[in-house]
Amino acid sequence: MNRKSFAISITVGIAVVLLLFVGTGATTILSTTYAQTATLGEPIFVEKGGDITFQREIGPNMTQYTFTSNGTMFGNIEYSKTGEYVAVSKGNNTIFDQGKGVLTTNDGSETANYTFIEVFNGTAYQGASVYSTNSTGELSILNNALVIYKLEEDESGNYSGTQWIWK
């Protein structure tokens, strides 16, 4: 295993442990305690979305989705995201999602790939994304970055969320 694959494996492992922790009721810790400390700092992304562009059942309690969303990074870099994920219903209004996507600056000059896992607990999505990019510009901070987030969904399926780089 090469060094880059090992580093990504460790990062994904940390994200999985974080999600397991978050999925067991640590919402208050994530959104209140850690989000207000220097560990996370100011949010990197503020995002709105909810445009599901494709949906199909792929098995018992499993659905595949594609989506788009829009947001701002550091309050002034506008971007759009496209992606896909598989949602697995765990019962009791709990859903586990795993997916991937591409973030693109609105001028189209830079992109970053990401993978994510998240848990929906009936009121909000909490998750982690791992980013990679070859960008040397505005998105360069996302290379090998672990981002944690919380998204809240309205009755229409639209969401808004805040995301932080874990430093």
Give the chain's domains with CATH numbers: 3-165 (2.40.160.20)
Going through 20-110 in order, the beta strands assigned E by DSSP cover: 45-59, 62-73, 77-91, 94-105
Residue 131 is inside which H or E element, if any? strand 124-132
**Tens digits of residue pLDDT in 34-85:** 444 446 778 999 998 768 899 999 999 999 999 999 999 999 999 999 999 9
Residue 34 backbone class (left: φ over 0; alpha: ψ -120 to 50; beta: rest): alpha
Residue type, 38: A
Nearest CA to 20 out of 103, 90, 73 is that of: 90
96's CB contacts (< 8 A; 6+ apart) are 23, 87, 88, 90, 117, 118, 119, 120
Residue 33, CB-side half-sphere exposure with 13 Å CA sphere: 6
pTM of the model: 0.75
For residue 140, pLDDT over 60 is answered with yes
Are 98 and 117 contacting, i.e. CB atoms less than 8 angstroms apart? yes
Mean pLDDT of the chain: 82
**Tens digits of residue pLDDT in 18-45:** 444 444 444 444 444 444 444 677 899 9
Residue 129, CB-side half-sphere exposure with 13 Å CA sphere: 27
**Tens digits of residue pLDDT in 107-122:** 999 999 999 999 998 8
